Structure 1
Amino acid sequence: MQRRKFITATAASLPAIVYGQSSEAPESRTDKGFVVKAHESRFNETTLLFGGSSPNDIKVSAKDTGGNLSIFEYTGKVKGGPPLHVHEKQDEIFFIVEGTFTFKVGDTIHHLSQGDTIFLPRKVPHTFSQSSGQGKMYFMFQPSGKMEDFFRKLSAFKGEPSPEEGAALFLAHEMKVVGPPLEL
């Protein structure tokens, strides 16, 4: 009987092992397709980063995917980027639509421009910096984690948070700051 319980429990946990998620049913998930138009956000909510200059719109929400995926459209109006940080539980993918960006992944520097895609694995320190005056990219988190809430809270700051405020915000959203932003 113990062997049967072990085998059943192991089989039931396979989705969590494969996808890095809980095997519990997702809190919510849409059962309908949808379209989000250019320059619009999934729920008509815009988060503005870098002191309110740069829209960061949710295109596909954790609410749509049961927490498995979130996709954002970022329109950068200023140069710069986040501090060097680590996501313990999420992979990220960026697709550059316009402009030029420099990414640091581990110890490697990558220069990306229109049409380029980069994969950032979880648990690897990374950052990026927009090096052109204007830029646009789509980026996604898998699984979603607390990223939508992170951008909402970051958007609420008038200007940039202090390094201490930023580190606390990252930590509260399952990330850790491990170094400064990239200098261009």
Structure 2
Amino acid sequence: MSLPRRHFLRNGLFSLPALGLASQASPAETTQPGAFIVPAGKARIDGPWTVHGEPAFYDKIASADTGGRLSVLEVTTPPNQGPPMHIHLEQNEWMYLLEGSFGIQCGTDKNVLHKGDSFMAPKGIPHSYVVLGTTPARHLNIYDPAGEIEAFFRDYEKNHPAGARPDPAKAAASEEHYRIRVVGPPIKAALFA
């Protein structure tokens, strides 16, 4: 069964220009850059941003490239590591696993993701992941809308220096500013054994 074109337009699956239809371009659409390549191991604008002294976050498509609509980061997370349980108050976060595996919890649901699997954490829902096994996981994280996620990771790097305890007040102020709420500790691999 084929769905009518208006279904795809109404549900945002195709843009009017992509369908060859006229539309009013927003200012962000008229100023976005042309095509570009970001080589492997490189960041688009100003990464990589480090976590605990290790390069971890590479911006591949920056918020500035899309008029703030989305941001794509390539992330490497070491074994048995992951973020604390947190909520993005204004962004959806989609993850696509390129290498490795991890356990993920969103709300009360727990699942294991393997290479090629993807996962979407809607805004407002607590979520976290932990890398399973003995090798790092490499994944793409896509934030919709981009918000200031890139600035958050820049600040995270400053607020969590390698080999030093983070300043809880600075970390909390950064989370508040960037509309991310930490609601629990990192999850443990034992939850997925």
TM-score (norm 2): 0.76
**Residue 42 of structure 2 corresponds to which residue in structure 1?**
40
TM-score (norm 1): 0.79
**Residue 7 of structure 2 corresponds to which residue in structure 1?**
none
Question: Structure 1 residues 78 and 161, CA, compared in 2 at 3 Å: closer, same or farther?
Answer: farther
Q: Deviations over 1:64-116 (max 9, x none)?
A: 00100000001223431111111111101000011111111010011111010
Distance 1:63 1:90 in 2: 16
**Residue 95 of structure 2 corresponds to which residue in structure 1?**
94
Q: Deviations over 1:121-170 (max 9, x none)?
A: 11111111122331100111000011100111111231362555433322
**Residue 149 of structure 2 corresponds to which residue in structure 1?**
147
**Residue 79 of structure 1 corresponds to which residue in structure 2?**
80
**Residue 17 of structure 2 corresponds to which residue in structure 1?**
none
Range that drifts further, 111-120 or 70-79: 70-79
Q: Note the aligned Cα RMSD (angstroms).
A: 2.2
Distance 1:149 1:90 in 2: 14
Shift of 1:27: 9.5
- Aligned to 1:101, the other structure's residue is in SS state strand
**Residue 68 of structure 1 corresponds to which residue in structure 2?**
69
Distance 2:31 2:119 in 1: 27
**Residue 109 of structure 2 corresponds to which residue in structure 1?**
108
2:173 pairs with one of 168, 172, 176: 168
Instruction: Report how many residues are paired.
Output: 162
Distance 1:107 1:175 in 2: 19
For the Cα contact (< 8 Å) 1:28–1:66, is it kept in 2?
Answer: no
Amino acid at match of 1:158: P
Gaps of 5+ in 2: 1-11, 13-25
Question: Structure 1 residues 68 and 29, CA, compared in 2 at 3 Å: closer, same or farther?
Answer: farther
Shift of 1:39: 0.8
Range that drifts further, 40-49 or 144-153: 40-49
For the Cα contact (< 8 Å) 2:29–2:66, is it kept in 1?
Answer: no
Distance 1:116 1:154 in 2: 27
